[in-house]
Amino acid sequence: MPELGVHRVLLGLTGGIAAYKAAELCRLLVKDGVNVRVVMTDAACRFITPTTMQALSGQAVATDLWDRTIDDAMGHIELSRDRDCIVVAPASADFLAKLANGLADDLLSTLCLARECPLLVAPAMNRQMWENAATRRNVEQLRADGVIVLGPESGDQACGEIGMGRMLEAQQLHEAIMAALQPKVLRGIRILVTAGPTFEAIDPVRGLTNRSSGRMGYAVAQAALEAGAEVVLVSGPTALAAPVNARVIRVTSAQEMLDVVLAEVPKAHVFIAVAAVADYRVKQTAAKKIKKSNQPMTLELEPTVDILGTVSTGPNPPFCVGFAAESHDLDRFADEKRRRKKLPLLAANVAQDAIGATDNQLVLFDDRGKHVLPRQPKIEQARALIAHLAELYKARCQPTSGL
């Protein structure tokens, strides 16, 4: 009997040098609590051994359509029956052709043809094989059949050439798979997210900013995408890779972020303001670099516009979610901010514990009171926040229909 609440993935490997990445992918999935069952083709076994994949997955690896050790007499079908999805990584040109044409001449292709769950494939091949017209037709047919195609990307290849056909990295595939496994509670909903710090120029080389890494905002955008939402991410300066499938608009200053938000918010159902927007900016920015001297220097500051407050208290606001980072009196300041800005939901944390960290503890405030989330990685916090948001949004904005 499968354990309740545990995601179950069938990971298929076909022949290709990128099979080594499948080992790391398996490790990442298992680390994330996923139950991974591995099936390998004969060709895959020439690049990486079943013993390696068995050690990483903790389960016996299936390789043979006629394997008599499979418990069920119809193992070539039953192996995938309890799985939430099948992932083939690497997926060779030959295997993509089999899938596109409904061929089933080995265990993995048979399982893919007889599946009742989503199928994801990560192509991996030489650039000329990827660019071949037959491969392109096969990939388009798979997409038309509802298969999720992950990648490939351009880069160095084992043959020494450079071009399209390189399989996505294990971390990229892990994120895509976890996204596919999340409940689509926000399907059809357009969400606008702000993230990261802003930078307020003093002169051409100096400015006022803060220590926000942008990780929480990017995690919220990722979690919203996983939940099926259409996401626009307005990002201040960060070194983070943008979530795949989000439309990213990069800005620098609070004024730039405000301008973009006001342009995008009329199209959004939900606005989540995670960005650590500067509260003040220099009243008069110097056109040239201010030369250092031994004399004290005074800067005249003026407040920036409250982006969240402008949106939440304006006409016909979307469902607004705020964030508050406080150094003390978290409950009092957070709830006061929520009420003042008329927010249905606010997430708060202790600033010194969260800024720059990879994990976090959030406290959610809504009309029903206070909800404490356990400290955990920011992506898990973001998923919990999105699940809570979806429940509130459904009750408030779609009382008679599902999302």
pLDDT of res. 353: 61
Q: So what's the pLDDT on residue 97?
A: 97
- With a CB cutoff of 8 Å and minimum separation 6, the contacts of 137 are 100
Instruction: Give the confidence band of 179 by pLDDT, cuts at 50, 70, 90.
Output: confident
Summarised one tens digit per residue, pLDDT across range 12-21 is 999 999 999 9
| Beta strand spans in 130-181 (E) | 148-149, 153-156, 162-166
Print burial letters for 321-335: b (CB count within 10 Å at least 16), e (below 16): bbbbbbeeebeeebb
Is 159 tagged catalytic? yes
Domains and CATH numbers, the chain: 8-181 (3.40.50.1950), 190-397 (3.40.50.10300)
Average pLDDT of span 215-229: 93
pLDDT value of residue 1: 39
Predicted confidence band of residue 302 (pLDDT cuts 50, 70, 90): very high
d(C-alpha 270, C-alpha 391), whole Å: 13
Between 400 and 223, the higher pLDDT residue: 223
Q: Look at residue 358 and tell me whether its pLDDT is greater than 80.
A: no
How does pLDDT run across 42-86, given as a tens digit for each residue? 999 999 999 999 999 999 999 988 776 555 556 567 788 889 999
Question: Are 37 and 53 spatial neighbours (Cβ–Cβ below 8 Å)?
Answer: no
Catalytic member of 117, 159, 320, 397: 159
Q: In this predicted structure, what is the pLDDT of residue 180?
A: 87
CA-CA distances (angstroms) from residue 123 to 15, 25, 131, 133, 174?
11, 15, 12, 15, 15
In this predicted structure, which of 33-47, 148-162, 328-342, 349-363 has the lowest mean pLDDT?
A: 349-363
DSSP character for 62?
Answer: B
**How far is residue 57's CA from residue 210's CA, in Å, rounded to a whole number?**
42
Which of 96-100, 200-204, 215-219, 330-334 has the weakest average pLDDT?
330-334
Instruction: Name residue, tokens 């994949």.
Output: 53
